[in-house]
Amino acid sequence: MSLPQRLVILGSTGSIGTSTLDVVARHPHRFAVHALTANRNVDKLFRQCQAFRPALAIMGEAQAAAQLHARLRAAKLRTQVSSGVDALCEAARSGECDTVVAAIVGAAGLLPTFTAAQAGKKILLANKEALVMSGALFMRAVRTSAAVLLPVDSEHNAIFQCLPRASGSNLGVERLILTASGGPFRTRPVATLDDVTPDQACAHPNWAMGRKISVDAATMINKGLEVIEAHWLFDMPAERIDVLIHPQSIIHSMVVYSDQSVLAQLGNPDMRTPIAHALAYPERIASGVTPLNLAQIATLTFELPDMARFPCLHLACEVIRDGGGASVILNAANEVAVEAFLAGRIRFTAIERVIGETLQRVPVVEAQCIEDVLEMDRRARVLAHEAIRR
Ligand code: NAD
Ligand code: MG
């Protein structure tokens, strides 16, 4: 029997991290957990360490790491504890790691995910913001190091499964169709969007996700980020990537071939399917997901997105047309605006204004290295905070 695949799960306490560990627990001989990481949730990381016995646990800050260390020692667990982004990068490039699950949310995941790409690891990519920020540099690092990049984002995982030999080759591919649920506000009167609360924005009709991506789904900027993600992952011009609203979230995306064959991947909306696919690729393993019952679902519907209802999606589409560096600014401004909305400091409808103003004020630089990306991200955050204060 082959040796277990050794995993570093970046962001193990989040929605994707938890789903990953759920799949891993079903296959104890296939996977060994080398490292688990969390930003602040000591309780949850402690419980995960009890269950999965990793060699290493990493927290966002030293104080949280000290708390975790004390609890692990009291429980007589030998897991080593460290903290900070350097420790995350070290784990991502470690010789003890075969596969990095990139499931930190937002720009915070960029450096460790990029490090895994440089180190030639197998990368299960959930952290789309990393690729949105650094697309060209990231894909170059993957090619240079011969890393294996497998998409976990359900749409991209679906497309990967529908591509020729799932190899990333675009032979005969005419278009990609990214499906989108339309989020919780697809049919709500636009005039009432001013007053929606963070909890309403996070109440996604089909998927249970972290709060940041849930707000992104409600504004539909998530789909704009995903078009950029698909552009880099599949080397496909953005003009050949369509967005189609499909409220049932059963078809996770499609590939249109030049003979007009359209291949789709279907399944219940549960991230354990793309996670299990990527973990075991090219094999198939049980995921714990409920079998799809199409007779019971009966109806699948489709519609085009209304750009007046979803101005953030419109902004993202413009950024895609401008290409390259502007997506760093879009992403940074969105992260700052979503955080402010979740904290009750701005209205839902102000997210778009913060992004729009920041895009106008930060000069776009074509990044030559990852430091250029981080610098543009930092500048955009400063101006997004200013836009919020105004
Ligand atoms: P989440 O908020 O549930 O979890 C985020 C994880 O990142 C947590 O473990 C948290 O501790 C960690 N983290 C947050 N900030 C950090 C920081 N500054 N430093 C270190 N660690 C930090 O988010 P999620 O829903 O699991 O999403 C994770 C990523 O996957 C996002 O990029 C999201 O866009 C993507 N994604 C999620 C889903 C989903 O169904 N949840 C689907 C597709 C893609
Ligand atoms: Mg997605």
- Mean pLDDT of all residues in 322-326: 82
Question: With 70 as the cut, is the pLDDT of residue 121 above it?
Answer: yes
Of the two residues 49 and 205, the one the predictor is more confident about is 49
pLDDT band at residue 321 under the 50/70/90 scheme: confident
Ligand 1 neighbourhood includes 108 CB (under 6 angstroms):
yes
Mean pLDDT, to the nearest integer, of 126-152?
97
pLDDT at residue number 154? 98
Query: What is the best residue among 40, 100, 105 to mutate for testing ligand 1's pocket, by most ligand atoms within 8 Å of CB?
Result: 105
The residue whose CA is least distant from atom 18 of ligand 1 is 108
Confidence of residue 322 (pLDDT cuts 50, 70, 90): confident
User: What is the rounded average pLDDT of the residues 102-114?
Assistant: 98
- Reply yes or no on whether the pLDDT at 95 is more than 60: yes
Please report which ligand is nearest the Cα atom of 152: 1
* Contact present, 24 and 51 (Cβ < 8 Å): no
Are 72 and 98 within 8 A, CB to CB? Answer: no
* Helix pair 370-389, 350-361: axis angle to 10 deg: 130
Model-wide pTM > 0.75 = yes
274 C-beta closer than 6 A to ligand 1: no
Residue 232 has pLDDT above 60, yes or no: yes
* Confidence label for 324 from pLDDT (cuts 50, 70 and 90): confident
Mean pLDDT of 212-239: 97
pLDDT category at 215 given cuts 50, 70, 90 is very high
pLDDT band at 165 (very low <50, low <70, confident <90, very high): confident
Task: Please name the residue whose Cα sits nearest to atom 40 of ligand 1.
Answer: 209
- Under DSSP, is residue 363 helix (H, G, I), strand (E, B) or coil? coil
Residue 74: pLDDT band (50, 70, 90) is very high
User: Mean of the pLDDT values across residues 142-170?
Assistant: 90
Cα-to-centroid distance, 260 and ligand 1 (Å): 36
CA distances from 211 to 198, 202, 216, 335 (A): 9, 6, 9, 11
Q: Interior CA angle at 34 toward 31 and 35, to 5°?
A: 125
| pLDDT reported for residue 2 | 85
pLDDT value of residue 333: 98
Cβ count near 84 (within 10 Å): 14
Q: Confirm or reject: Cβ of 151 under 6 Å from ligand 1.
A: no
In angstroms, the CA 271 to CA 17 distance is: 10
Whole-number pLDDT of residue 145: 98
Reported as a single tens digit per residue, the pLDDT across 360-386 is: 999 998 999 999 999 999 999 999 999
- Residue-wise pLDDT for 8-45, tens only, equals 999 999 999 999 999 999 999 999 999 999 999 999 99
Q: Is the confidence at residue 167, as pLDDT, over 70?
A: no
**Ligand 1 lined by 357 (C-beta under 6 Å):** no
- What proportion of the chain, given as a percentage, has pLDDT over 70? 99
Q: What single-letter amino acid sits at 210? A: G
Q: Is 70 exceeded by the pLDDT of residue 168?
A: no
Closest among 313, 343, 305 to 222, alpha carbons compared: 313
207 touches ligand 1 (CB under 6 Å): yes
Buried b (16+ CB within 10 A) or exposed e, 205-228: ebbebbbbbbbbbbbbbbbbbbbb
Task: Supply the DSSP string of 64-81, one letter for each residue.
Answer: HHHHHHHHHHHTT---EE
Degrees, nearest 5: CA angle 251-26-263: 20
**pLDDT band at 207, cuts 50/70/90?**
confident
Q: What is the C-alpha separation between 12 and 163, in angstroms, rounded?
A: 29
Residues measured by CB to lie within 5 Å of ligand 2, the ion: 153-155
Q: What is the pLDDT of residue 171?
A: 86
Q: What is the pLDDT of residue 166?
A: 54
- Name the percent of the chain lying above pLDDT 90: 94
What does the pLDDT read at residue 238? 93
